Homo-oligomer: A and B are copies of this chain.
Amino acid sequence: MSKPLVLPALTRFVSATAGRNMTTAAYVAVIVGVAMMTLLTVAPAYDAVPHWVDALLWACLAYFVFEWLVRVRHMRRQDKFWFYQLSSAGIVDAIGALAVPLALLAGIEPKTAWLLGVLWVLKVVPGIPGLRQLRRVLVVESGPLLSVLVIFLMVVFLASVAEYFLERDVQPQTFGSVPAALWWAVVTLTTTGYGDVVPITPLGRIVAAMVMISGLGVFGLWTGILATGFAAETRRDNFLRTWETVSKVPFFAHLGPAAIADVTQVLRTMDLPPRTMIIRKDTNGDCMYFVAAGEVEVDLPGRKVKLGEGAFFGEMALLGNAKRGASVSTSKVTKLLVLDLVDFRLLMARHPDLAETIDAEAKRRELENQ
């Protein structure tokens, strides 16, 4: 085979990550690369250690090119080349690998070409946790958001023509054309207010005051729309993530759909690494936990009890005893469902049968632990 023999391990490692998330190595490369690119533009810093900066930049670039090539090969083998290359991850990978080399080949001065290294930050995008949620909010609320944007632009245009008319004779330097006035209008309506262009005639200032107050209004509308959308999306997202897990907990399995929907609405999921303390003895507790996956260890006096999938603990805190009776920690990677005191009470009120099951189990344990 004609393939290089020194890289197979690394190649395997990279192809294993071709799925979606970024590896730690990629994060390091992005941070180092962007930092070096920044340093390149600071004359004194660069002149002190030019070779180091250059070397690190080339190393980062080499990493991104290598990563891209491995992923392309991997995807080709699975016949998903075009699927990958047209996905946002594929486009970002290709840009990260090709932008700087192509610029250098095109004869652009190196210091300028390396600026394209800033595009490496785009590789972070797929790893942002709540991005999907944010995008959904923006899509669902796109109608009203667009309306506000159009109103924004209309105010900007009307105000800048008015200001141009009012100020052009007094300040021909700064209000000498409508584009210059547009710059002022955007700076003012966003309440940025650089102060490089400021109306000085009385009428001009009155128009400006109205623009500023409109700015507050635009701000308020924008925020109001996003807050509304976000509230709906958070509720939806939480529900979806929890439903799946709830349906796997034996404890809830015998409940009817109405009760499951109610339970799902109030539980929160929590993923924990092994050896993490969940409950510390003698602290105050205000929630109980269900083990959705993994295993936890209850530290009872004299012995340790392991609780696996489907078990629950911490229910004492909800049944009147606020002090935690024992420490509990994870022994594996564990997914927990957290039931808050508040929601517990509302739930018990609506589903007395659920309350009885928890009560019975709690009494059984108390007897056992005596």
Contact = CB atoms under 8 A, between A and B. Distances in A.
Interface of A: 34, 37-38, 40-43, 112, 115, 118-119, 121-122, 124-125, 128-131, 133-134, 137, 143-144, 146-148, 150-154, 157-158, 161, 164-165, 176-179, 182-183, 186-188, 190-196, 198, 202, 205, 209, 212-213, 215-231, 234-236, 239-240, 243, 256-262, 264, 286, 340-342, 345-346, 348-350, 352, 355
A336 to B, nearest CB: 15
Contacts of A134: 144, 147-148, 151, 221
A128 B115 contact: no
A90 to B, nearest CB: 17
Copy count, this protein chain: 4
A125 B154 contact: yes
B190 A190 contact: no
Given A177-B42, A191-B191, A243-B345, A186 B165 contact: no
B42 A258 contact: no
Chain B CB within 10 Å, residue with most, of A112, A194, A345: A194
A355 to B, nearest CB: 7
A154 B223 contact: no
Nearest to A228: B231
The 4 closest A-B pairs by CB, nearest first: A192-B193, A224-B227, A224-B226, A258-B349
A328 to B, nearest CB: 20
A152 B196 CA distance: 25
A229 B236 contact: no
Contacts of A227: 220, 223-224, 227-228, 230-231
Nearest to A237: B342
A290 to B, nearest CB: 19
Contacts of A348: 257, 261
A215 B189 CA distance: 12
A178 B42 CA distance: 7
Contacts of A133: 144, 147
A346 B165 contact: no
Contacts of A129: 143-144, 146-147
